[in-house]
Structure 1
């Protein structure tokens, strides 16, 4: 075969192959169209159209008085299907729409917006995002009336895609307690613990996949609307919470401490009124709520001398000691087995009564008493933990509650010194919540209440589920023992380690605590300081615990560090609570006689005064444009004048209630001390003086 024939043969083979391939194409098209068409069309549907989840609006979180602690605010991203509008609607409206978009977003010219929308329409694009910036509900309503947009989703192609953001109106207030939850359903606090209530029921809607991987919602009769979440109503009091955070933060800064916690609880019910946790930020600059030390595992630590209340309970229940019995502490050191225990006072206390031992917080005395009476049967001492209810978690409503820990006789960790050291708050672990529950039970005449922070689940104005007070122990000890413990706690403040917080206005009962911190297996000179107690001692309404970790400086003990914070919070709460401090009401009543029924209000918040006068049916000669005012009575009318609260100078707080004066002055960064009762009669820094941040102003009440 010559070369020519070979070439011709090859060409014919290639031609035949091309012909066969060309014939196969129509065959495959016919096969796909008729034999496999349904299968591939169904697959295309699943790829390009999907029913996807539509999140529900998350429920709100409220304080006990109805103040909003967390809510979901709706924001919207504006998108458009430029092919939906009819030609006449598009032509007459595109210029005005482009002008409105340019004026609103201010990121590009009207011509740019017009070109972007028109080009997308020509290219038959079904979905474009006009601007990534999210807008609020009011702006969405306004945009809905713009040209083209006013035709709606089907007539104009506009899509307002809802994006919800969690918002806390009080910012950082109780932020860790309110908590958070992320996209992976991990979180903390109320948001996480009550997520099943708050998240609601997701819906479903049909979405179409577009070029670029974006999805556009498509109206479909089978869409299922999401069901909004339930609201959670807490027991928190925002005023008490604010007071607690302010006082704790001030002391943490002054003492350069690592972290601190405060819990305020209502004695009769166990309702948590405030819970704050502040920890030094990793940068070392300032403090933030990064972990709930008040209830969590990391808050489980050796409680120190606040645990001596439990030791006294066990001793008194056994009828082994009386408060006037004498105990020898010698020079303040005593050997237990192979270790020396020491008192805080150099040289010791010598011979003192049991009452004095508790008031002065003598380690030697308490440990000797416990060792003498329970040394042969330490299990009997620890059995009182079950009687009191401190041996197990409380099943608190927030996830992450720490579990108490106590060594047990007969185990490998039990040692010859374990009992005396446990008796004064070492070789054991409790979180502040458990310690407070014990003190609250003593304040409540022996009845231990279960602490709780959420009191209801609601939908709109209807409460769907209530959480009522729960009694964990009807009596943690005999009535006689409880009365003696109450005496001891009052004595600590009257005569003992917390004399510095004694008050002339109301009685405080409580106990200081100072525990050396265990680091790398050795006790250091860093301290975990605390004060737990309740007030007013003669008619307890609130119990409270304050803990501050690793304070710096001289006298870094519970009585010097934590107790003053307790006193400051107690004073503020006492002033805010009209049930405990009805002085203002009495003052108004005494200034109102039968001859002259006009109330002498003196000064206050204009809106509140106006509401009071409306209730009393008294005329007010004033406008309501002012915020803070000073008032006086004239014939049958109450008149007032504006009392401006300038941002840079000290305001005039004369005549204001203590609550209002504290609100104004502390919001300006001033520290406030006061004496007396009633309304503000005098202030140490004259009104109009330029404010010096962190300075202290003294108020005289009368």
Structure 2
């Protein structure tokens, strides 16, 4: 030890003698450590006992993603799956100038509005000056754009500008414009249904959406933690219609052209499957574009073929003949004398041309549309029985249909109908009572299908890739016998072969039909306008469809069912034959016995 100390001294080192540490120092260090450890335990206890719920809530916000439903609606499709109405995601663009910041900027940097406007100018297709005007002097909550597509929203997102928010919302679009407006209706700007199926089937069209909460990693990837069954399931069901876009296009085009050509008030076309009641076309004119509904009169928003009544006129004569056959007051081979004038209860009733037609069989009564002949035929039927038969047809009942706003027809009370002879007399040629065009189509389907009242409808049900729910329909009611309806259908064929419906002839096909030109009263007293119609059943050897055309108040001279309604029906029939691939007709009316 001595040697080391001497050497250290020689080398200039200062040697310090080792001595034990003071116990006082140890106590100070120990106290500081205990104080720190105690503070740590206190902090942990504070967090665990008093701040745990608050911190858990903050953690959940960071670690989870909450997706709230947008409130979308189901798409509407035609019978072949073509879109009729659809919800598409659109975006509103909001700006908050006090938070403007670009990627890479340091914390606290606030960019000038003009810098942001230059970046937004291209995706918004607006000038920088226009965007700056939108900013104004507001520091937050500035709406820059509405209705942005997903593509535009993606362009803006890629810019990465802080202080720019994109708010997603669904927008209802109608790809075919006015083609289905009368049926589908529309949503207003607040997404409230205002007409058509959008209104009547509002609840059914709302998608079943739910709020979902997912745990996610730092990069936003969903984690399989606490995921409940069905969280990724989406409502993929759509409402499918019975309507056919192709046939609807032709129907709308032809009825619109005819309404314009004849200066008519309105017109309607109905194409119905006689066995199922499915409507393949339901077209009205004039119509409107549901994408721009605010540009049109609200009077166009209803479908008058199911919401307004009219006197069917001569198109009801085949129905009356079927009732007379059913009651046994006439036989298929009978005849009637049309002398041109008949007086009932002091009222003179004549034919539409005021001319006599002589001795007619019942097919000829339809061919020449003899009013006098019909009055004499139906006079054979007891008025009480006649009234009861009309009631049995559901003339004044609310129709069972999914069409929005459908109304019941109107017929005189039993007392008036039975005690005033003029009432059954005018009813024999389709006046004195009123029905909707839809009801008339249903009654002619009854003649074509063997006497069954089917339910007219335009919805097939909810359809999806993995599940579907079909529309439930009431069971068809047998109202008339197949024998009576088959006979009348044969008489209707002669109307197209050589009567007033001859212009509806399609070579190679057997078609039955009946024209109508009913006098129309605006005040219930004066019949100073008319309504022209034509109804066809086809093909006669294997009936499948009824086509009805009605044109209200044509203004030009020589307006009759044969001149106004038949040309429209022929175009639609020709299209229907192609779309449904109906082969040319064979055989005669006897083939109907197999169907019956």
2: CA distance, partners of 1:415 / 1:279:
39
- Displacement after TM superposition at 1:263 (Å): 0.6
Of 295, 298, 310, which residue of structure 1 is paired with 2:306?
295
1:63 aligns with 78
Alpha-carbon shift at residue 562 of structure 1 (Å): 0.8
Gaps of 5+ in 2: 1-67, 213-230, 289-295, 586-596
2:476 equivalent in structure 1: 472
> For each residue in 1:214-260, what CA deviation from the matched residue of structure 2 results, as whole angstroms up to 9, or x when unmatched?
xxxxxxxxxx9998695211111000000111111121122111110
- Whether 2:141 is the aligned partner of 1:128: answer yes
Deviations 1:575-606 (A, max 9, x none): 33334479xxxxxxxxxxxxxxxxxxxxxxxx
Change (3 A) 1:350 1:196: same
- Shift of the 226–116 alpha-carbon distance from structure 1 to 2, 3 Å rule, reads farther
In structure 1, how many angstroms separate the alpha carbons of the residues matched to 2:405 and 2:155?
A: 45
Q: Aligned partners of 1:573 and 1:289: how far apart in 2?
A: 27
Partner of 1:338: 346
Distance in 2 between the 1:333 and 1:157 partners? 86
- Shift in Å, 1:325: 1.9
Q: Is the 8 A contact 2:363 2:492 kept in 1?
A: no
Return the alpha-carbon distance in structure 2 between the equivalents of residues 100 and 581 of structure 1.
66
Contact 2:417-2:423 within 8 A present in 1 as well: no
Spell out the pairing of 1:130-529 with structure 2 (5 A cutoff).
131-148=144-161, 156-182=162-188, 183=190, 185=192, 187-200=194-207, 230-279=237-286, 290-296=301-307, 298=308, 300-330=309-339, 332-374=340-382, 378-411=383-416, 415-458=420-463, 460-467=464-471, 470-473=474-477, 475-529=478-532
Could you tell me how far 1:543 is from its partner in structure 2? Answer: 1.1
Paired residue total: 491
1:684 is aligned to none
Contact kept, 8 Å, 2:179 with 2:248, in 1: the verdict is yes
Q: Contact conserved, 1:329 with 1:349, CA < 8 A, in 2?
A: yes
**Structure 2 equivalent of residue 83 of structure 1:** 99
**Aligned 1:524-673 pairs, distance under 5 A:** 524-580=527-583
Three-state SS of the structure 2 residue aligned to 1:315 is helix
**Gap runs ≥5 in structure 1:** 1-52, 149-155, 206-223, 583-702
- Deviation for aligned residue 1:92: 9.6
Cα distance change on mapping 1:142 and 1:426 into 2, 3 Å:
same
TM-score when normalising by structure 1: 0.64
Moved more, 436-445 or 519-528: 519-528
Larger Rg: 2
Counterpart Cα distance in 2 of 1:168 and 1:111: 31
Query: Aligned-pair distance for 1:176?
Result: 1.3
Does the 8 Å CA contact 2:95/2:144 hold for their aligned counterparts? no
- 3-state SS of 2:488 partner: helix
Q: Note the alpha carbon deviations across 1:661-684, whole angstroms, 9 max, x for none.
A: xxxxxxxxxxxxxxxxxxxxxxxx
Instruction: Indicate the structure with greater helix content.
Output: 2
Helix, strand or coil at the partner of 1:526: strand
| Residues 158-184 of structure 1: per-residue CA shift (max 9 Å, x gap) | 421123322111111121111123348
Whole-angstrom CA distance in 1 between matches of 2:524 and 2:135:
69
Tell me the C-alpha RMSD between the 2 structures: 3.5
1:425 and 1:435 map into 2 onto residues whose CA distance is: 11
Checking the alignment, whether the CA contact within 8 Å between 1:197 and 1:231 is kept in structure 2 is no
How much does 1:335 deviate?
A: 0.5
Q: Which TM-score applies when normalising by structure 2?
A: 0.75
